[in-house]
Structure formats: C-alpha cells, structure tokens
Amino acid sequence: MSDVTSVRPLPKIQRLVVKIGSAVVAPGGSLDQASVDRLADDVAAVRRMGVQVTLVSSGAIASGFRLLGLTAPPTSIELKQAAAAVGQQRLMAAWAAALGRHGLTVGQLLLTSDDMLARRRYLNARHTLAQLHQHGVAPVINENDSVSYDEIHFGDNDALSAYVSGLVDADLLLILSRARGLYAEGDENRVIPLVRLGGDAEIAGLSRHVTDTKTLTGVGGMASKLTAIGVAWKLGVPALIAGGDEPGVMGRVLSGENLGTLFLPVDAQAPSRRKAWIMSTVRSAGTVRVDAGAARAVVSRRASLLPSGVTAVSGTFERGEPVDVCGPDGVVIARGLTAYASEQIARIKGLASDKIATTLGQHLGDEVIHRDDLAVLTSGGGGTA
C-alpha cells in the first residue's frame, strides 16, 4: 500500500535519469533556449558532483509543429511524425549548444518500445549508453516520434524515462515538469513531500490527488507520471517529481533540499539485469492465467511456473516471448519469458510436467516459465525478484 509522510530519506545518487517535459523546454510550443541553457547548467553542475546524468528530453513535436504552419500541436499520428522530424534536430541543436558551453559533447538516442522489447536491442541501447558515459558524453534521449506508431509507442516520455531508469541502473528518476510535485487533493499550494510505495504500489490510490490539467504541448499530465513511477517502482528505482522552472533544481534535489514529491520504494530489492529487462518490456505478447496455488508459489516462493498450475492462455505468441502471468482474479502478478508457444501451453495446461513429452511430442523443459525468466510484479517479496 502507499503511505504519505513528510520525512524524505533520499538515497545516495550516483546515476541520475532526468526527464524534462515539453512545457519546460518549449512552453507554448516555442523552443526556449534560455530554459535549455539553465537546465544544461544544472547538468554540468551535477556532473561535477560526480553524478552520471542521462537526459530524457521531450520537446521535438512542440519545437516543430509551428514550422509546419500549424497553430496548435497536431493530433494525427502523421502530423505528429512530421512535426517531430522537423523539431527533433532543433531540440538537439539547442541541447548541443547549451551543453557545449560547458565543454560537453551530446549524444542522441531515439528509442521506440521495440528497443525495450527485443533483448538484443535492449542490450545494444544499454551498451551504447554505457560507452557514452564512459567517454564523458552527455546522452539525450527522446522517443523516436518520427517513426513511432501506436503499436510501438511509449505514449509519452514519462513512460520512456521510467524504462530508461532501468536501462542505466539509475539511483533516481527525476521528472521535471510544470507541476512542482504531486499536489494533495489537487491543491497547488500543498505539495506532498514523500510517498512510500510498498506492496503492489497502489499507484491508483493516489488518483484522488490528480487533476486532468495539461499544458498546450504536454502529452501525459500527472496521471501518466504516476504510471511511469509505477514502472520505476517495479524496477526498484526511486522517483521524484519537481518543478522544472526551479533554479538549480537538479543540484538542490541531490543536496537534499525538500523540493517536489519523492516516491520511495519500500523494501525494494534491485532486480537482476535480465529481470529488469523482462519488467521493462513495454507490452506482453499474451497472458497465462494460473490457479491460486501456482500464484502463491510464484509470488511467495519465487517458484517456476509449471503447466499443472496453468488454467488458461490468451493471445498468440512463440517460445521465448514475454507474457503476463495472472492470478485467478485476473490481476497480473508476474511477467516472464515463456518456454512454450501459446498453442503448446493450451495443450499442456493443467498437466503434470512428466506428461509434456507425450502430449506435445517434445520436451522443452518442465516449466512453462522458469524462475530465472520470471519477474514478480506484486507483493510477497518487495515487488522485484
């Protein structure tokens, strides 16, 4: 469950992911170089503190739509892609100029959700970021909006930044936006300083604090930020929402100043890199439903999922694809890489493992999902495995 309190024990930060919203860098739909310069000053100052900084910067569409002759941000996917194609180079030029004043070279990464879903591409992105940091380059990441479409779309850079926090093993995800934090009951005069997240993180329970207000160029709003924080929680990464217009905000947060709202996982254990990737896959290929006994074994004992505990399978997927594991009530309790295709699982569900070979004519293992390929997403051990 979630617990709101006023004490903020910020962990030691060595790797920081900073998500910067469109309303911060391009308020009103015009790229603001002064804002970019101010934030670049922050990045340089934090790097001098010995902290590794990875930027996830929105603003490509906001920087480009007016150059297409539009007076408001586009709503169609085709115009969004066109605006991003025009605006992305302007956004990167602004970051390159701003960080260049501090002698920093910028490296651009454009990602789609497929880059998180495909293991090899995930590792390639991880290795690229590691090399950029090793060579002193400042990475700036954005969603590849000019080619993304609904099926491979993160939806907003809040979600992307949460997945990136797992990609780089971040110690903190800092989300900078027009909002100065999570407002108690939506009252902008009352910022909640700390939310402790435990159990299955009940992000939905914080919805009473959320209004549907968005800026002209913003995509997500507070609801999407809380969804992203739920992803970060599953990865064991603390997250903090703060005002992007606060002077020196990055350094002030890292120095322990009481800015914004800190979302702190309770008793979270850092997942292995492999399980972090499994949890970071943006979409699953299907669903396997299990009975109560199998659900308890998966959650409480971190056991493998055997065919005897499977009651139903939905979706069409192949061996090795990520699938959600649901308890008897339909709630997702884990995600894992299946050892069998959906058609095969439908044939062996409910059977003992020693019946697999005779039923399928082949044996690919006793488990539908081996424990090493299974990441638990719910309570009964801190939410990560």
Residue 312, in any domain of the structure: yes
Q: Considering the domain boundaries, does residue 279 fall inside one?
A: no
**Residue 145: predicted pLDDT:** 58
Residue 30: band (very low, low, confident or very high) from pLDDT cuts 50, 70, 90: confident
- Give tens-digit pLDDT for 77-134: 888 889 989 999 999 999 999 999 999 999 999 988 778 777 788 888 999 999 999 9
The rounded distance, in Å, linking the Cα atoms of 240 and 262 is 4
Domains contained in the chain, number: 2
- Judge if 94 and 179 occupy the same domain: yes
User: Residues 154, 288: one domain?
Assistant: no
- Give yes or no: residues 234 and 97 share one domain: yes
Q: What is the pLDDT of residue 214?
A: 52
Among residues 270, 305, 327, which one ends one of the domains?
270
**Whether residues 176 and 28 fall in one domain:** yes
Same domain, 165 and 22: yes
CB atoms within 10 A of CB 48: 10
Do 192 and 340 belong to one domain? no
| Structure confidence at residue 152 (pLDDT) | 37
Q: Which residues, at least 6 apart from 293, have a Cβ–Cβ distance to it below 8 Å?
A: 309
Residue from 66, 30, 62, 26 nearest 178 by CA? 26
Band (pLDDT 50/70/90 cuts) for residue 73 is confident
How many angstroms separate the Cα of 45 from the Cα of each of 49, 131, 146?
Answer: 7, 21, 32
Place of tokens 């991003």: 84
Domain CATH for 130: 3.40.1160.10
- Domain identity same for 184 and 216: yes
Residues 89 and 234 in one domain: yes
Per-residue pLDDT tens over the stretch 165-187: 988 999 999 999 999 999 887 78
Q: Which domain holds residue 342?
A: 284-376
Least confident of 178-187, 266-275, 330-339, 362-371: 266-275
In a domain, 147, yes or no: yes
Residues 289-307: tens digit of each pLDDT? 999 999 999 999 999 999 9
Question: How much of the chain exceeds pLDDT 90, in percent?
Answer: 53
User: In this structure, are residues 138 and 103 in contact, taking their beta carbons and an 8 Å threshold?
Assistant: no
